[in-house]
Amino acid sequence: MSDPLLTVRDFSVVYDVDPPVAAVKNVTLELQRGEILGLAGESGCGKTTLAYGIQRLLKAPAVITSGSVVFHDASGDDIDINGLDAEQMLAFRWDKISMVFQGAMNALNPVATIGSQLADVFEVHRPAMSRAERRDAVAELLEIVKVGAQRARSFPHELSGGMRQRVMIAMALALRPQLMVMDEPTTALDVLVQREILRQISQLRREFGFSVIFITHDLPLLLEISDRIAIMREGEIVELDSAERIWRDPQDDYTKTLLSSFPRLTGERGVVLR
């Protein structure tokens, strides 16, 4: 059954430098409500440009040259993201779509407590909330991501990398958005912490029902967490299918190359010739 959250049609982004670079070329895709969509490809394939572009987070020299992005709000309204004016855009971002940025471990302000940084989100987007309500909301968020409310007064450097990453997820979760875009959210973490974070993302997704666009070049990881995977190359989606079909029966030659380029934990030996 189809219940789309986001419909992207014929979407193109060009970096207007000399010579111009077509970073995203005529991408069409439909993101389902509650789905985790993996976006995979090498550096420079356009995956980050696409994910930023659909929420208009790109700056010059990037230019969106064609296409439309329609957000199907839970209220039943269809929102044309390209048609929003500055003020509407401000209200839309983080409320409907939030982000966990690449290098999120270093994205926190080092001189402010994590509690105050989380409270900022409410101060901007929920001005009607009282100070006490904000404090309770922050405590609740820190409990949800299992950092613990007592950590609200900690500074980022007092937390481990994994905990800082959870704080970033808490921040993205604050307004209960319908879509979270995660750009390499676990890349700098070791495997045990990475596994905990992935488990938490899956669990929160089940609990709150948001969709996720998960960007990484770590295909083994993507195969495990995603419902569907889009493989990008040179600005185009060359293949889009369920994670299982991408794994078992890849159609595109490039997908096959990517799949054969990582060593298997338990598979055949011989990929590294020794």
Site residues for other proteins per CB under 8 A: 1, 32-35, 42-43, 161, 189-195, 202, 205-206, 217-221, 223-224, 227-228, 242, 244, 247-248, 257-258, 261-267, 269, 271-274
Phi, psi of 251 (to 5 degrees): -95, -40
SS3 breakdown of the chain: % helix, strand, coil, rounded to 5?
Answer: 40, 25, 35
E strands present in 131-255: 179-183, 211-215, 228-233, 236-242
Three-class secondary structure of residue 193 per DSSP: helix
Which tokens is 248 given? 């078992």
Close Cβ partners of 141 (under 8 Å, ≥ 6 residues apart): 118, 170, 171, 173, 174
- b/e per residue 3-12 (b: at least 16 CB within 10 A): ebbbebeebb
Both ends of the chain: CA-CA distance in Å?
Answer: 49
Which residues partner with 214 through β-bridges? 38, 182
Q: Closest CB to other proteins among 64 and 193?
A: 193
Q: Closest CB to other proteins among 40 and 172?
A: 40
User: How many other C-beta atoms can be found within 10 angstroms of the C-beta atom of residue 263?
Assistant: 12
Q: Closest CB to other proteins among 64 and 259?
A: 259
CB of 83 to other proteins, least distance (A): 28
Q: Closest CB to other proteins among 143 and 224?
A: 224
CB of 160 to other proteins, least distance (A): 8
Q: Closest CB to other proteins among 35 and 239?
A: 35
Which tokens is 56 given? 């208009």
CB of 172 to other proteins, least distance (A): 19
CB of 36 to other proteins, least distance (A): 8
Q: Closest CB to other proteins among 68 and 187?
A: 187
- b/e per residue 195-231 (b: at least 16 CB within 10 A): ebbbebbeebbeeeebbbbbbbbbbebbbebbbbbbb
Q: Closest CB to other proteins among 138 and 232?
A: 232
CB of 240 to other proteins, least distance (A): 11
Q: Are 178 and 211 in contact (CB under 8 A)?
A: yes
